[in-house]
Structure 1
Amino acid sequence: MSVVLDGARLTCEQVDRAARGSGIALGSTGRAEAAWRMSGLLDGPVYGRTTGVGANKDVETEDTGLDLLRSHAGGAGPVIEEFRARATLVVRLNQLLAGGSGVDPGVLPVLAAVVNRGLTPPIRTYGAIGTGDLTALATTALCLLGELAWTPPSAPAGTGAGGGPPGTRAGDPVPRFALAPGDALPFISSGAATLADAALACHRLGVLLSAATAVAAHSFRAVDASLEPLSPVVQRGPEQTGVAAGLRALVGPTSPRRVQDPYGYRAFPQVHGAVLDALGRAERTITEEMNAAPENPLIADGRAWHNGNFHSARVALALDALRAALVHMGAVGASYEGMYLS
């Protein structure tokens, strides 16, 4: 089933599904169209549209935006995997649908066609500039302009003759769009590549954590571990309580042979619950960012609002907390190994 993008309801699971070939469909483009119309009525200096960028922010310019794309597309290292590049396109397309960029909405169906054809921009591993994924998105923009070639998809079973989803043809025209100079900075003003990787990681981690509970249940049964650590009276907090209840249901009755089992068995609900809590916070943060307009300037309420919403502090802190939680999870998992071998 295709993922419908509307700028408001994209989830980490949907990013993963679209990145791996489910296809996408556009919802309402009304907010993007309103921001574009408004951008053409603005008076006064607008950063990146009527002025230069960076040190040239106070210098009036005219039609130099495309040079900005060319200067920022110089990544390095190997090209990232297709599904990661496709996830980047999905996230940025959804952000543009949220409105606020002022980018010509004509680019939206073209980007959707790129995703559905299985084409990807040749985004390289290294190249972030400042606090946004400017290099990745500048590379994408040059593909739209025809100055760089889209990377053709691999052709797994079930794809069309052109290597894309069923129904595509090898002779289909290459998706292009003539971005205007004023669209250059608005198009790349986003951390879409970072958010895409974070969404993919959170979704896959959620799958693994679900499997980890089943693995723990097998461990409990294999050694006849006591279920006392899983008793409702012991638990506190919704995540820990949920983990303990789920594990009790999977393990079923046991015949404990020890007064107290090793650390890993006793602390599993506490640590696994903490990881799930950290994952939930990370997913909520990433979801909010994917469904927001990170634009600088933001086109809204009849004017351009110069701001710092592109900063990724919230996402970085949420992911750092999740990574720290996984360290504790790894320690508990390691404590099972060799525990009863002697």
Structure 2
Amino acid sequence: MIVLDGEHLTIGDVVAIARKGDQLALAASAAEKVRAGADYLTDLVAQGHPIYGLTTGFGALDGFAVGPDKVRNLQHNLLRSHAAGVGRPMEPEAVRAMMAIRVNVLGTGLTGISPETLDALIAMVNAGIVPLVPERGSVGACGDLAPLAHMALPLIGEGRARLGSGDFEAAKGVMARAGIPLPTVAGRDGIALINGTEQTTGIGCLAAYDAGRLIQVAEAVAALSLEALGAVADSFDERVALAKPHPGQIATSSRLRALTDGSKAVLPPRPERMRDALSLRCIPQVLGATRDALAHCWRTLEIEINAANDNPLFGVADGFVTSNSGNFHGQAAAEVLDYLANAVTSAAAISERRAARLVDPHHNGGLPAFLIHPDSAPGENSGFMIAQYTAASLIAEMRMRAVPAAIQTIPTCANTEDHVPMAPLAARRVAFVVSTAFDVVAIEALLAAQACDIRGLKPAPLLQPLYQAVRDVVPTMLRDRLMAEDITAVRKALRDSGVAGPDWTSH
């Protein structure tokens, strides 16, 4: 059970709820803040205080007054009209992440959400209800409106949803089967449910978590390539790292030293081998920069998922009320997700360059062309030729998506929302980049293991689990066989096995 209080949610918690099905609950302190916030909002309305989105319309329609007898209809119409997403449904884990983060944000008590509606949203998460949320349609301000509206529709008995792994069907029946009564969804419940950055952070948190694993796998696979290519060891000497003390470079250098300790192939400089190509020599600089990008992204996302992403805001403690907050704007998340996507693209690009070197007889230190096994006939067999083509194609596709999302503002809402961050595009981009990078690194691992076998080289002790993880799913390639199946199997092994080292959340 993960207890949410609006202040201490971690990316690891989000992953546990989204992927492992962990249950969640609202801390007693947060529940009291929510109740007090809702009561305060009720008092303000009773006193005749104008409240955006409760006593008024939304967006450019905020000049139209809404009477007390129309408020419930106002909130329901908001969810209906704003549920304007298109495209394929979001992955269930991303929807669960989005729901959990919004629960935490509402738990700050600053949004005026009613306890009844928040409890129903929590019950949906714990029952395994996944609303159908089209992934496209949000510009990131004022919040991820369309996807969050789709997420909230089941609370008014509308939209589509599924229970567990079942099929999508009318949400009203799904809620009934789960035994969750429909809340009233009045006051400002509708706008409180949708006025935030949770599609961005839901997708972004999962991608950041995966990027942590990717970096550690990429470091281990790079070290295996250093073994296969007989690299020079001083590029990751501690003194080199401390001479340019970026934290990521220091960390990657330290890990490469540990991984190659006891190696019979990664050796100090020698007269015939004083320096390496940059794809071997600059692993600490490139993967270290990816580490630093992730660390910055991680910090920013954990601030974002514990923030009051909403407008208006209601400060019960000091009586502060504003309808002029811009906290729904996802620029901070968009910037770091773009940054992480670029850094992961660079990590994948350098991996592809090592893969290309491994299959190139002019640059692989005497290994056969395309790593065709010596027991096979070149020409009759093509070896790993096309595996490198695939890696090159993937890198090109990642580069095609390299234009940052955070600068793509297009005015909306009759120019009242005249700057938007396009943050969900940044989140979807980094999710694609991280997933694709795993394919590239899997190809490098496949090639490095083959090269070690051809050389008759036993990897250094800390690299043997990685080598064995590859060999547990694919044998040495003696003659050509279906390559796609090998790549897929190695990718799965790298993601699922323990070769990555400590979970990134422990850093």
Give the alignment's TM-score, normalised by structure 2: 0.62
- CA distance in 2 between counterparts of 1:53 and 1:81 reads 29
CA contact (8 A) 1:263 1:335 kept: no
| Aligned partner of residue 339 in structure 1, secondary structure | helix
Rg (Cα) greater in structure: 2
Measured in 1, the distance between the counterparts of 2:139 and 2:231 equals 52
**Which position in structure 1 is the counterpart of 2:11?**
12
Paired residues of 2:106 and 2:192 also in contact (CA < 8 A): no
Distance (whole Å) between structure 2 residues aligned to residue 171 and residue 138 of structure 1: 22
Cα separation, partners in 2 of 1:79 and 1:267, compared to 1, 3 Å: same
Distance 2:136 2:350 in 1: 34
Choose the corresponding residue for 1:276, options 291, 305, 314. 291
Question: Which residue matches 2:24?
Answer: 24
Q: Distance in 2 between matches of 1:233 and 1:335?
A: 26
Change (3 A) 1:41 1:196: same
Tell me by how many angstroms 1:18 deviates. 0.6
Matched, 1:261 2:276: yes
- Secondary structure (helix, strand or coil) at the match of 1:337 reads helix
In structure 1, distance between residues paired with 2:203 and 2:337: 11
The match for 1:292 among 307, 310, 315 is 307
| Deviation digits for residues 182-240 of structure 1 (CA, Å, limit 9, x no counterpart) | 32212211111111000010001111111111111211222221110011111122221
SS at match of 1:173: coil
Of 92, 97, 104 in structure 2, the residue corresponding to residue 87 of structure 1 is 97
Per the normalisation by structure 1, the TM-score is 0.90
Amino acid at match of 2:292: D
| Amino acid aligned to 1:17 | A
Q: Tell me which of 177, 187, 195 is aligned to 2:201.
A: 195
Deviations 1:152-176 (A, max 9, x none): 2217xxxxxxxxxxxxxx9641453
- Looking at structure 2, the residues matched to 65 and 172 of structure 1 have their Cα atoms a distance apart, in angstroms, of 24
The residue that corresponds to 1:234 in the other structure is: 240
Query: Is 2:75 the partner of 1:65?
Result: yes
Partner of 1:317: 335
**For 1:186, which of 188, 192, 206 is the aligned residue?**
192
- CA distance in structure 1 between the aligned counterparts of 2:181 and 2:261, rounded to whole angstroms: 56
Change (3 A) 1:321 1:261: same
Q: Does the 8 Å CA contact 1:191/1:312 hold for their aligned counterparts? A: yes
Higher relative contact order (CA 8 A, sep 6+): 1
Offset, 1:55: 1.8
Is residue 2:51 matched to residue 1:33? no
Are the equivalent residues in 1 in contact too, given 2:7–2:307 (CA < 8 A)?
A: yes
Distance 1:67 1:171 in 2: 25
Do the aligned partners of 2:127 and 2:178 also contact (CA within 8 Å) in 1?
Answer: no
Alignment of 1:87-126 (within 5 A): 87-126=97-136
Q: Secondary structure at the match of 2:131?
A: coil
Unaligned runs of 5+ in 1: 156-169
Residue in structure 1 matched with residue 369 of structure 2 by the alignment? none
Note if contact 1:16-1:200 (Cα within 8 Å) is conserved in structure 2.
yes
Contact kept, 8 Å, 2:236 with 2:253, in 1: the verdict is yes
Please say if residues 95 and 291 of structure 1, whose CA atoms lie closer than 8 Å, have aligned partners that are also in contact: yes
Task: Report the alpha carbon displacement of residue 80 of structure 1 after superposing the two structures with TM.
Answer: 1.6
Letter in 2 for 1:217: A
Q: Which runs of 4+ in 1 moved over 4 A?
A: none
Tell me if the contact between 1:47 and 1:297 (Cα under 8 Å) persists in the aligned partners: yes
Tell me the secondary structure at the aligned position of residue 4 of structure 1.
Answer: strand
Aligned to 2:354: 336
- Report what 1:158 is aligned to: none
Aligned-partner residue type, residue 323 of structure 1: A
Q: Does 1:216 align with 2:237?
A: no
Structure 1 residue 304 corresponds to structure 2 residue 315? no
Query: What is aligned with 2:210?
Result: 204
CA distance in 2, matches of 1:226, 1:186: 58
Q: Secondary structure at the match of 1:120?
A: strand
Q: Secondary structure at the match of 2:109?
A: coil
C-alpha deviation, 1:149, in angstroms:
4.1
**What secondary structure does 1:150 align onto?**
strand
Q: Which moved more, 1:4-13 or 1:282-291?
A: 4-13
Name which of 126, 144, 154 aligns with 1:133: 144
Q: How many residues align?
A: 327
Match of 1:243 in 2: 252
Q: What is the CA–CA distance in structure 1 between the aligned matches of 2:353 and 2:87, rounded to whole Å?
A: 38
* Structure with the higher helix share, 1 or 2: 2
Match of 2:157 among 146, 149, 153: 146
Secondary structure of the structure 1 residue equivalent to 2:188: helix
RMSD: 1.9
User: Contact conserved, 1:143 with 1:150, CA < 8 A, in 2?
Assistant: yes
Q: What amino acid is aligned across from residue 293 of structure 2 in structure 1?
A: A
Q: Offset of 1:56 from its aligned partner? A: 1.8
Identity %: 36
Once residues 129 and 326 of structure 1 are traced to their aligned partners in structure 2, the CA distance between those partners, rounded to angstroms, is 24
Moved more, 171-180 or 284-293: 171-180
